[in-house]
Chain A
Amino acid sequence: MSKTKTMPPEYYELLEQIQAVDFVIVELNLYLDTHPQDYDAIQQFNHHTQESKQMKKQFEKQFGPLMHFGRSYSNYPWNWDDQPWPWQV
């Protein structure tokens, strides 16, 4: 066996929750690109954006940074480039 690590079930669960919220954000974003006056949709967009930020904070505490170039904080040692990458999990 190699020394590759297996991600625990919580990794997949939390990731799926983030994917779901971020998906709603993408949908609302594209909708708002053609409906810039829809106040309710903007409120919902901002609500989910906040929700997403909180979930990612939680995720990153357990599994390391989601983003590079200063969009996430690093642990010690540098763990941005830790495997697995999204296509590997």
Chain B
Amino acid sequence: MHPTYTKYYYPYVSPLDPCQPITKKSYSTPPNLYMGFQPPNLPQFNTAKEALYRGTLWPALYDDYPNKDYRGDQK
């Protein structure tokens, strides 16, 4: 099973909280936490430019960080 690289938790909400509560809060658990010692011959991005623009040569180490509106946090 492929792990997910974003996790969520649900902070306690008090009726006395002054700001609009964040009910669902995300955090990152990127692929380096799961890989262990990198196995040889992992598939690589197709071109050097793609590797550059992803920031890694290996898709298995790539983790997108979407802008905050797309991270799944909820008010």
Interface residues of A, Cβ cutoff 8 Å to B:
16-17, 19-21, 23-24, 27-28, 31, 34-35, 38, 40-41, 48
Distance A39 CA – B27 CA, assembled complex (angstroms): 37
Distance A19 CA – B57 CA, assembled complex (angstroms): 13
Interface residues of B, Cβ cutoff 8 Å to A:
37-38, 40-41, 47-49, 51-52, 56-58
A20 touches B47 (CB 8 A): yes
B56 touches A27 (CB 8 A): yes
Would A28 and B47 be within 8 Å (CB), given that A19-B52, A40-B40 are in contact? no
Would A20 and B48 be within 8 Å (CB), given that A27-B56, A27-B57, A28-B57 are in contact? yes
B51 touches A24 (CB 8 A): yes
The distance from the CB of B63 to the nearest CB of chain A, in whole angstroms, is 15
The distance from the CB of A23 to the nearest CB of chain B, in whole angstroms, is 4
Distance A23 CA – B56 CA, assembled complex (angstroms): 8
The distance from the CB of A32 to the nearest CB of chain B, in whole angstroms, is 11
List A contacts of B41 (CB < 8 A): 40
Distance A48 CA – B52 CA, assembled complex (angstroms): 14
List B contacts of A35 (CB < 8 A): 38, 40
List A contacts of B51 (CB < 8 A): 20, 23-24, 27
A24 touches B40 (CB 8 A): no
Supply 27 A–B pairs (Cβ within 8 Å), ascending by A.
A16-B49, A17-B49, A19-B52, A20-B47, A20-B48, A20-B49, A20-B51, A20-B52, A21-B48, A23-B48, A23-B51, A23-B57, A24-B48, A24-B52, A24-B57, A27-B51, A27-B56, A27-B57, A27-B58, A31-B38, A31-B57, A35-B38, A38-B40, A40-B40, A40-B41, A41-B40, A48-B48
